Structure 1
Amino acid sequence: MKMLKEGDKAPVFKGLNQDEKEISLNDFSGKKIILYFYPKDNTPGCTAESCNLSESYDDLTSKGFEVIGVSPDSIASHQKFITKHSLRFNLIADTEKEILQQYDAWGLKKMYGREYMGVLRKTFIIDESGVIIKIFEKVKTKDHTNQILGELEL
């Protein structure tokens, strides 16, 4: 499978959000998208990243961005995560890991000398025409909004 890179057309995805509503990349045509992939609801790094983006949601939307999170957690898990942390954007339940694989966010990980398949924390910035303009593979979970805006010089 070909690895995605900046300048590529973003793969069109479809998935169910926390409200069991199907959302697709096509729903956001004409908007810039922050599409972030994270391993698990309610874990320290994922909570820090999601809360950081949620706290900056007004600033991000004023700059034309829509934020979408994707993890392999269930819809019920996403509902609890959103409620517990007052998150203000869609989370897609990619339990079959289809979107994760489309975006090269599912792969081999290593921890404590052990190798296993898991979610690779990544963020894709997609422009209004559906082109990937930036990929973050080293995400600063506690300061992700500033990392994004700084790289894009916004």
Structure 2
Amino acid sequence: MKSRKHLASPLGAAIAALALLAGCNEPAGAPGGAADKPAQAGASETAQAAPLRPGDAAPDVKLTLHDGREVSLSSLQGKQVLVYFYPKDDTPGCTVQAKGLRDGWADLQAAGLEVYGVSTQDAQSHQAFIEKYELPFPLVVDADGAVSRAFHVPLRNDFATRQSFLIGKDGKIKQVWLEVDPKEHTAAILAAAKS
């Protein structure tokens, strides 16, 4: 019995680690996707405030970008702004999502959109992600989870869940995606920005 218990512990830890890394492997809305599953017992998860809704004022937070610059969200009033949260740099689903935004960049700019990606990795991780995939938009360092909390985005095991917020020119939330399919993300954003 002792040897089985001893083997089960490393195996359980390995499975838990793989589950963590899989957070970006499937779209949040896909059955069995990581964002659809409740956090496992003992996993750290932020207390979930009610989600922000269209018509709510966007939180006035300071965004610390990968290059050290800081942008106050309120300073962007008069522009449409996409703030999208994703679990982890350079993982499959997050890469699909970021590349979709990159590939649709001309259309996003034509729609007058500013784009900010937010996750809890550090500036070095963000810079490497940007360089590897030639991302034309900045990534926000949210190591302490303050930006996620301001937008009521749950953190699961210290990773942001995949959610997106389109902020209108008036500084109010125009559209919210609490479940995001990375492959369809850019098209959905463009449709909402043009409406």
Aligned-pair distance for 1:52? 0.4
Return the match for 1:144 from 168, 174, 185.
Answer: 185
Match of 1:69 in 2: 117
Return the match for 1:80 from 97, 121, 128.
Answer: 128
**Quick check: 1:13 aligned with 2:61?**
yes
**Quick check: 1:135 aligned with 2:183?**
no
C-alpha RMSD over aligned residues: 1.6
Unmatched 5+ stretches in structure 2: 1-48
Q: What is the rounded CA distance, in whole Å, between the counterparts of 1:142 and 1:78 in structure 2?
A: 21
Q: What is the rounded CA distance, in whole Å, between the counterparts of 2:63 and 2:194 in structure 1?
A: 31
Residue pair 2:88, 2:121 contacting (<8 A) in 1 also: yes
Q: Which runs of 4+ in 1 moved over 4 A?
A: 151-154
Match of 1:93 in 2: 141
Q: What is the rounded CA distance, in whole Å, between the counterparts of 1:11 and 1:89 in structure 2?
A: 20
Unmatched 5+ stretches in structure 1: 110-115
Residue pair 1:36, 1:123 contacting (<8 A) in 2 also: yes
**More strand per residue: 1 or 2?**
1
TM-score normalised by the chain length of structure 1: 0.88
Match of 1:113 in 2: none
> Secondary structure of the residue that 1:99 maps to in structure 2?
helix
TM-score normalised by the chain length of structure 2: 0.71
Aligned-pair distance for 1:4? 1.4
Aligned-pair distance for 1:3? 3.2
> Secondary structure of the residue that 2:171 maps to in structure 1?
coil
Return the match for 1:3 from 51, 72, 79.
Answer: 51
Q: What is the rounded CA distance, in whole Å, between the counterparts of 1:145 and 1:133 in structure 2?
A: 16
> Secondary structure of the residue that 2:116 maps to in structure 1?
strand
Q: Which moved more, 1:116-125 or 1:5-14?
A: 116-125
Q: What is the rounded CA distance, in whole Å, between the counterparts of 1:78 and 1:137 in structure 2?
A: 23
Q: What is the rounded CA distance, in whole Å, between the counterparts of 1:133 and 1:88 in structure 2?
A: 23
Residue pair 2:115, 2:138 contacting (<8 A) in 1 also: yes
**More helix per residue: 1 or 2?**
2
Q: What is the rounded CA distance, in whole Å, between the counterparts of 1:120 and 1:104 in structure 2?
A: 10
Count of residue correspondences: 147
- Rg bigger for which structure? 2
Q: Which moved more, 1:7-16 or 1:77-86?
A: 7-16
Match of 2:163 in 1: 122
Q: Which moved more, 1:91-100 or 1:13-22?
A: 13-22
Q: What is the rounded CA distance, in whole Å, between the counterparts of 1:130 and 1:151 in structure 2?
A: 15
Q: What is the rounded CA distance, in whole Å, between the counterparts of 2:140 and 2:164 in structure 1?
A: 14
Q: What is the rounded CA distance, in whole Å, between the counterparts of 1:31 and 1:7 in structure 2?
A: 16
Residue pair 1:97, 1:106 contacting (<8 A) in 2 also: no
